[in-house]
Chains A and B, each alone.
Chain A
Amino acid sequence: MSATEDRQGQGPADVQAYRSIQLWMDVVNKMYHLSEAEWEGRLQIMQQFCEAEGKDPDEIVAEARGDRAEKIDYMRRLKRFVKTLTPNPMLAHDYENIIRSFFINNGARVVTKPYPDVYNRTQ
């Protein structure tokens, strides 16, 4: 079993203690002033993602920023991860956006797309 597989399901004790999380919160709050309740929900999702990956958020961001293939792989795993949280595709999209926001505001460039029905419209 790999070191990563060893740690999957474990994750960091408190994601908020990590530098990448602090940076994420600072940058987002500077623009959008999210409430404590909203951050609580976001941090919960982030915590669960870290547990699923078996890594802390600083490690995740470092890997995603360092290697494009690794970043793409994170996005694929993210899609699978949110489906474990909910069968509702809109909610899954929202959960994905939380993690995407984390990546974006930590300098890991990721593709963002709106809800599919924004552009998937027929006349």
Chain B
Amino acid sequence: MEFLEAVGKRRSVRWFKTWEPVPKEKIQRILEVVRLTTCPGNLQPWRAVVVERDKLDPKVRDQLLACDNWQGAHTQAPVWIYFYADPEGARPETFATRTKELVDVGALPAAFGWNIQSIEGAIFQNETMPAGMPAINELLYGLPYEMSANVAYAETVGACAVATLAAVNEGLGACLHMIAAPSKQEEAKRLLGVPESFVPVWQLLIGYPAEDPDAGGMRPRLPFEQIFSYQNWGEPFHRDAQVVADLEAEGLAQPTGEPKPYRFDELKYLARMFGYPV
């Protein structure tokens, strides 16, 4: 699938063909894409546990579902990918290690001032970085653990977004979901064997859609010129109608917010099929 088509087709799918398993090869293909997500300093703090619902011990399965309040999509999706962020993945020491790797392969050019001594000096001795270099001393020297956790979390959210597109590219339905109610996050970690230090991010539910992903309409989006400025905040980036038309032709659907006429009928029959109240 072309990139724009994947972005345009993506919807949060909330009704899955519970009976149709997802081939393991497709799961791996998604994970392979996630692994290549961009990240500052190449930190890669994302960690994930892939769960195939029908291979779980029923007691554990029900406990994980209860952690998430028995949300409908969760019960139906045959595969649950639990994403966590590892704060250790965003510690200054990790940044030092990862950036040294980038210097070694020429990704961080010496021409800009990157070298192993200056990286270590900035991160561990608070040495001021010269012009042309990022102020990594201010960013990383003495970085509190909580900030590392925040950075790791933020970067893992990005990986989750990439995972969603990768799932769409595989012809699957996908939905980012909370892992558990806040009061039950520790229980979910315990059930999954995840280290206590890991920060919960999202779980990605995947499966074959039982609903028409288009039937609910393209979700409403904020106006383009409200969110994008040019040169100065508040000066709208002018939106060229031809560019929009070209993107649509290339597969990037544009928001209408209009569900198809049969959408509520579809929801009624899906609810009946799965045994939900109408």
Q: Which residues of B contact A111 (CB under 8 A)?
A: 69-70
Is A75 at the interface (CB under 8 A from chain B)? Answer: no
Q: Are A114 and B267 CB-contacts (below 8 A) given A119-B18, A119-B65, A121-B18?
A: no
Q: Are A119 and B277 in contact (CB under 8 A)?
A: no
* B53 close to A (CB within 8 Å): yes
The number of chain A residues touching the other chain, given as a range, is 20 to 34
| Cα distance A104–B69 in the bound complex, in angstroms | 15
When chains A and B are docked, how far (Å) is the Cα of A120 from the Cα of B18?
10
B264 contacts which chain A residues (CB < 8 A)? 31-32
CB of A94 within 8 A of CB of B275, answer yes
Q: In the bound complex, what is the Cα–Cα distance between A111 and B66 (angstroms)?
A: 10
Q: Does A84 contact B (CB under 8 A)?
A: no
CB-based contact B53/A118 at 8 Å? no
Partner of A118, one of B18, B69, B265, B277: B18
In Å, the complex CA distance between A90 and B275 comes to 8
Which B residues between 242 and 269 are near A, CB-CB below 8 angstroms? Answer: 264-265, 267-268
A123 is an interface residue with CB less than 8 A from chain B: yes
Q: Is A115 on the interface with B (CB-CB < 8 A)?
A: yes
* B177–chain A nearest beta-carbon distance, Å: 14
B278 contact set on A, CB distance < 8 A? 28, 32, 34, 97, 101
In contact, A119 and B53 (Cβ under 8 angstroms): yes
Q: Are A118 and B75 in touch, CB under 8 angstroms?
A: yes
Given known contacts A32-B278, A104-B277, A114-B276, A121 and B54 CB-to-CB distance under 8 angstroms: yes
Query: How many A-B pairs fall under 8 Å by CB?
Result: 62
* A98 and B274 contact, CB distance less than 8 A: no
Look across to chain A and name the residue whose beta carbon is closest to the beta carbon of B53.
Answer: A119
Report if A97-B70 is in contact (Cβ < 8 Å); known contacts: A118-B76, A119-B53. no
B interface: dominant SS: helix
Which of B53, B54, B268 contacts A32, CB < 8 Å?
Answer: B268
| Residue among A34, A93, A118 with max Cβ neighbours from chain B (10 Å) | A118
Contact with A along B64-89 (1 / 0, CB 8 A): 01000110100110000000000000
Q: How far is the CA of A90 from the CA of B53 in the complex (A)?
A: 22
| Chain B residues with CB under 8 A of A76 | none
Give the CA-CA distance A101 to B275 in the complex, in Å: 12
Closest to A42 in B: B278
Query: In residues 89-118 of chain A, which contact B (Cβ within 8 Å)?
Result: 90, 93-94, 97-98, 100-101, 104, 111-115, 118
Between B65, B267, B277, the greatest number of chain A beta carbons within 10 A of the residue's beta carbon is seen for: B277
Extra 7 A-B pairs, beta carbons < 8 Å, given A32-B265, A118-B76, A121-B53: A32-B264, A98-B277, A111-B69, A113-B275, A119-B75, A119-B76, A121-B19
Instruction: Provide 26 A-B residue pairs closer than 8 Å at the C-beta atoms, listed in order of the A residue.
Output: A28-B278, A31-B264, A31-B267, A31-B268, A32-B265, A32-B267, A97-B275, A97-B276, A97-B277, A98-B277, A100-B277, A112-B70, A113-B70, A114-B72, A114-B76, A114-B274, A115-B275, A119-B61, A119-B65, A119-B75, A119-B76, A120-B58, A121-B54, A122-B54, A122-B58, A123-B52
Q: List the 7 closest A-B pairs by CB distance, nearest first.
A: A115-B275, A101-B277, A97-B277, A114-B274, A119-B75, A100-B277, A114-B275
Q: Which residues in B have some Cβ–Cβ distance to A below 8 Å?
A: 18-19, 21, 52-55, 58, 61, 65, 69-70, 72, 75-76, 264-265, 267-268, 274-278
